[in-house]
Structure 1
Amino acid sequence: MRVVVILGPTGVGKSAVAVELALRIGGEVISADSRAFFRGLDIVADKPSVQVRERVPHHLIDIIEITGSYDAMAFREDVSRLVPEITERGRVPIIAGGGTLYLGAILRGIFTGPSADPEFRARLHARPLSELYAELERVDPAAAARIHPNDRLRIVRALEVYAATGRPISALQQEAEPLPFDFTVFGLRMEREQHRGAITARVDRMLGEGLIDEVRRLRERGLTPRHQAYRTIGVRETFAYLNGELSYDELRARIVRNTWSLARRQLAWFRRERNVQWLDITDKDAKFIASTIAAQLRSFS
């Protein structure tokens, strides 16, 4: 089964291209945005509007409560189910997003590993993050090189796997297998300064649309730093603003800075991905890029 994948760093317009491509080739979009899964993160996650989703079917958006969790294995299982369903309807599955952990689960495979050990995790969570990262660098330097020093969730999991198996998670992950689909992968990238400008413009738009009020409502609904959705860029910064720790200008600047840092990390991950057809979308709109991809897909037929 042919599956089209549109990946790239945050802020380059993957969702808009996916929608335009779906309109041209009869597709349905499967979101690989690591925060669009959560209900309530509408502005923060910059989800496609309801009107857009009425024009083009979207999957894996608003499927998890704001205080819930969703991991790469669940995503892999959902994609395994959705691709045949979409194909049987005579439609083309289009996976679009920048969630590296989730895309890796389908394109590279995923190591399931031992079950979670709540007591062991609690002990790790009680220790300073810098200490955990130093331990990871010692037992699994390859994993430490890939995992951000502030990503407590993945650091804890890597240490948990090493403690349970005696083997580095980086070595075990190499034994994983991708999903058995015919993936055609397109990557979107943009000239550096235009990309930074696009991120800044998006943050300004999100703030203008009510990002602060959205996060305030989510906090009232029970979102706390313990929850997965809290780690979304724009959420923890707004919590700090609501707590009086940041001014409005500091909030804006921090969201822009953290979003740009995420984009750079995503690009570094995507560059290691094989078989990606990269498209420079600088000064090009979504319709032009979608038409270019559609033409390439026809040439493969």
Structure 2
Amino acid sequence: MYNLKTNYNLSKNSWFGIGGKADKFFTPNDENELLDYIRNNPNEKYFVIGSGSNILFRDKGCKETIIKLGKNFRNIYIKDNQIICGSGVLKNQLSKFALDNGFVNFEFLSCIPGTVGGGVSMNAGCFKNEFKDIVEEVRGINIKNLKFVNYNKKEIKFSYRKIDLPDDFIITTVIFKINHGSKLKIKDKIEFFKKQKETAQPSKIKTGGSTFKNPDSKIKAWELIQKSGCDKKKFGKAKFSKKHCNFIENQGNSSLDIEKLINFTIDDVKKKFNIVLEPEIKIIGEK
């Protein structure tokens, strides 16, 4: 039997703490179960989630089958001088694993929420580091032809907050290269990054992380939000954080208010600066 729930309340799977219900919510325990379900339900549309750190579920819920990868996608081990990591592993868990084994270049992951699979799919990064710097290979399932597929680093085009893997590809495993270093220096770097994050970004609030991607290297999204005056705009109980105005703080129970704030900000910044902000948050569900 599949671990399948119907009419499932999605609010517990979003850091915003809100959202409607999914018609179906499927948690496969391994690749074979995932492949088997897709094979037996060829007409369903799917959306894969991780920890819900950058997702806004709409109030009316989702017709797509929501997939959250289960326990056997959270394994992590070393083989042939590489890290083999399930896509359901949290980024900070991967960072801790690297620290424990004396592997460098994973320190920045201690400051990014969410799962490794989600991090790869959006080439997540901070402090001038991105997933493209450490990924060697990505493995997964093509849900169109029902085959296991591998992509090495040369086959993946990484760019700012996105990669060019097919939409019908579900990442199940990520392979990382290993470089050895001093555990003490790794630990110090992690602590430095965490302090920088605590100083600059809000914590202990219901948020989806960075709301917008930076439009280019010369100007940041938060600067445009602030200069346009949108940082003081409020819809219902949705508003931008005073500590960092590219973070939306949710104090209510309506995803529509957050979506209104996002759309208002896009329109206002476009009108005032002729720059189109692109959301980093994924908005899922029925309008």
Please give the range of the TM-score, normalised by the shorter of the 2 chains.
under 0.3
User: What is the TM-score of this pair, normalised by structure 2?
Assistant: 0.27
* Greater RCO (Cα-Cα under 8 Å, separation 6 or more): 1
Question: Which structure's residues are more often strand, by fraction?
Answer: 2
TM-score, scaled to structure 1: 0.26
Q: Which has the higher helix share?
A: 1
